[in-house]
Structure 1
């Protein structure tokens, strides 16, 4: 009875929180699925089935459990993304330079997840996960002098992932999952207050240039293999296929006050194609002795399928919002796990996370760059069947330059800026088996 109440309460928490995500990983990827995994920077995650959260990275590994497993995780992500730069406007009275610096443009977020797995018999197991793989939230203040490049950008998603796994032998298992993903996105630009006087009317400041929002449900799949050639070694290979979404919604603009034709063009229904990239992971977990083990992962994300943000309007007009041209990325991670005693396990890890955005297409709306992860975590066993995981992750992004140009009527603005990014992640997870 206690287990059932705990599961219901955790489910309610997850459904309430999953729609508020923020990312400081490649592109707009979210890695906050597992507190025990975050404790070693997600190294070896697909090859180390410690609890039900393994389902997010490798469905085949759920055959390692001989009892039903339940995990509920919650992470607090506190990104610190600052912009230092200036915007030069070419106006009728000559060039005008405006400060384009802003602090904390990325929103903090609470990111929960839920997992349940259960064996059916000695060969078959099944499971269900609720989590987010992609999310983004940036928001610039009303006084920011480069709002025509970025005002607000938000992508939220939730994936429901049922999965089954089959144990082919004592050493090899295969798994298959279905991904049902709901996504909601919004992107907008506005007229900066500092530019509005040069358009002939200071009251134009903060009027929306373009705002596009929409949502959709997409379907995908994921597979995995889990191989244990010896009691000391586990190897995993997993693949989560691309999810293609067509976000149906509306486009809105206040530009009709400048040009009635623009008001007619921009205020109507439309759709936006958005692809969530495919992810491949090769992972290894190697036991050194009864207490020490090391983990490693190589992750490859097929970001090159995300080439542009283009609104397809109901009128038949295609409006290019942003040329993205993302690049495929690699993520390399290594970790260590130490079993101190029957109650306490310690972890640490490091990861290098490749940025998906090239310098030529780096923008204020998706502040992406290469990152270094350093993490530490622990598991404390409350009882034989129940444990608590905790982790802390520090992420430091490489300084990145941003150069963009955009016209607002007769005024052409050129942005030159530098992004500075770091983040702190705190994660807690409870696991129980029954």
Structure 2
């Protein structure tokens, strides 16, 4: 019983990843609404507004005036679940699989850029690079493998860029990152279900660095590196199961998690005075998540269970995107794009917490500039994943086999003000 408790309650903390985010694993792409309109093609080379603090800090050198940028994106996701075969450790299990486990989720962002002189610019960004929110219905048939998951990373990034000449610029910024999470799962007992809740947080430091090279005034390439960030979450686990004498209660827990580094390479080319082409690729080192290792301070439990290890074996991923913008007139710019993005999970270890497959994203957007000082950007994205199978059997958690097909809608809006 004790071993089942730890594997159901504590170890899920790191495995909780959102298959509905508009990037692989539990990464979020929504740091720019203009970029969202082109499926984030050209993210490190467009450098058209203050969101370049995240996309490529070197791009601040292209902004000639101070700028404030504030925006947010909302994500609505849905999963179709069928071919279900489920049972509890005690036998057949009743319940549902309606797939409505992701509440509408908001992703905020804000940036400030100030040119200090002709060569140096300062920037500050606040954004969410990683996050998830999933919450299955209370009688979900796979509840012993997944129930509720909430994880959020908020990053503050002060940044400097330096322009060597009219072609080459570089930028660098440390990132100060706060992660928090709350995760719950159901616990099977012969006398009825219990509940396990895990909470924890941490602060850690990373960095972003970028380079921008302008071949001509209308053609440029960008390269951005986002570093890994290592967290050591400290928190507690609450067990609500009165029938488990000596087990129910509160325990201290330490969870290690590393969010992966990524490299983005993209090109922006102005085909003429109206059309602009964007292409880009992003590599993310998800292979860092080989296993889950949970250290527990639980004197009421056997010493050999103080450390629990579960394999994950995620793999590195590539995302590729292409986008277009069309300048309809001095006030309006229209955008569209398509992206393909690999899932880091594998067919053996995929669980109801991570039921993700490779995805395709279609986007449209528009920018409206009523004057030279202000721009309002809007974007819509639709994500469609390939169907994937979840197949898990455990003596302590029963059986859950199902086929998932996920989709999501994203809607974003932002305003930029230059002065």
- TM above 0.5, yes or no, is yes
SS in 2 for 1:138: strand
- Give the aligned partner of residue 4 of structure 1: none
Deviates more, 1:218-227 or 1:317-326: 317-326
Give the Cα separation in 2 of the matches to 1:100 and 1:417: 12
- 1:268 is matched with 251
Q: Note the alpha carbon deviations across 1:4-44, whole angstroms, 9 max, x for none.
A: xxxxxxxxxxxxxxxxx972421111111111000000001
- C-alpha separation in 2, matches of 1:113 and 1:69: 14
Equivalent residue number for residue 407 of structure 2: 422
Alignment of structure 1 residues 355-374 onto 2, 5 Å: 355-374=343-362
- Which of 293, 305, 310 is the equivalent residue of 1:310? 293
Deviation at 1:49, TM superposition (A): 1.2
Aligned pair 1:167/2:163, yes or no? Answer: yes
Q: Indicate which of 59, 71, 86 corresponds to 2:69.
A: 71
Asked whether the 8 Å contact 1:390–1:429 carries over to 2, the reply is: yes
Q: What's the offset of the Cα at 1:71?
A: 0.7
Q: How does 1:107-122 map to 2 (within 5 A)?
A: 107-122=103-118
Q: List aligned pairs for 1:85-164, cutoff 5 A.
A: 85-89=84-88, 91=90, 96=92, 98=94, 101-164=97-160
Query: What whole-Å deviation, never above 9, does each CA across 1:377-419 have from its counterpart, x for those lacking one?
Result: 01111211101000010001111100112233xxx61111111
Give the Å deviation of 1:54.
Answer: 1.2
Q: Which stretch has the larger CA shift, 313-322 or 44-53?
A: 313-322
User: In the alignment, what sits opposite 1:433?
Assistant: 418
Q: State the shift of 1:314 in Å.
A: 2.3
- State the shift of 1:320 in Å: 3.1
Does the 8 A contact of 1:22 with 1:107 survive in 2? Answer: no
Instruction: Check conservation: 2:335, 2:365, Cα contact below 8 A.
Output: yes
Deviations 1:338-368 (A, max 9, x none): 1111001011000001101111111111232
Asked if 1:227 is matched to 2:213, the reply is: yes
Aligned to 1:349: 337
TM-fit CA distance, 1:102: 2.8
Query: What is the match of residue 291 of structure 1?
Result: 274
> How far apart are the structure 1 equivalents of 2:173 and 2:230?
16
Say which SS state the counterpart of residue 38 (structure 1) adopts: helix
The reply on whether 1:214 has 2:200 as its aligned counterpart is: yes
1:258 matched to 2:244? The reply is: yes
Kept in 2: contact 1:36–1:379 (CA 8 A): yes
Distance of 1:359 and 1:48 partners within structure 2: 36
1:280-310 deviations in Å (ceiling 9; x for gaps): 1000001111111100010001111122333
For residues 379 and 352 of structure 2, the distance between their equivalents in structure 1, rounded to whole angstroms, comes to: 30
Distance 1:236 1:69 in 2: 21
Give, in angstroms, the shift of residue 250 of structure 1.
0.3
- Structure with more helix by fraction: 1
When the two chains are superposed, the root-mean-square deviation of aligned CA atoms in Å is 2.0
Residue in 2 aligned with 1:13? none
Pair 82,191 (structure 1): closer, same or farther in 2 beyond 3 Å: farther
Deviation at 1:169, TM superposition (A): 1.3
- Contact kept, 8 Å, 2:170 with 2:212, in 1: the verdict is yes
Counterpart of 2:40 (choices 39, 42, 47) is 42
TM-score, scaled to structure 1: 0.87
Change (3 A) 1:297 1:73: same
If the length of structure 2 is used for normalisation, what is the TM-score?
0.90
Contact kept, 8 Å, 2:297 with 2:306, in 1: the verdict is: no
- Closer, same or farther in 2 for the Cα pair 1:318/1:308, shift >3 Å? farther
Query: Which sections of structure 1, spanning at least 5 residues, go unmatched?
Result: 1-20
Distance 1:108 1:29 in 2: 17
Aligned to 2:15: none
C-alpha change, 1:135 and 1:244, in structure 2 (3 Å) is same
Q: Distance in 2 between matches of 1:130 and 1:81?
A: 30
Give the Cα separation in 2 of the matches to 1:181 and 1:219: 6
Where 1:133 maps in the other structure, the secondary structure is strand
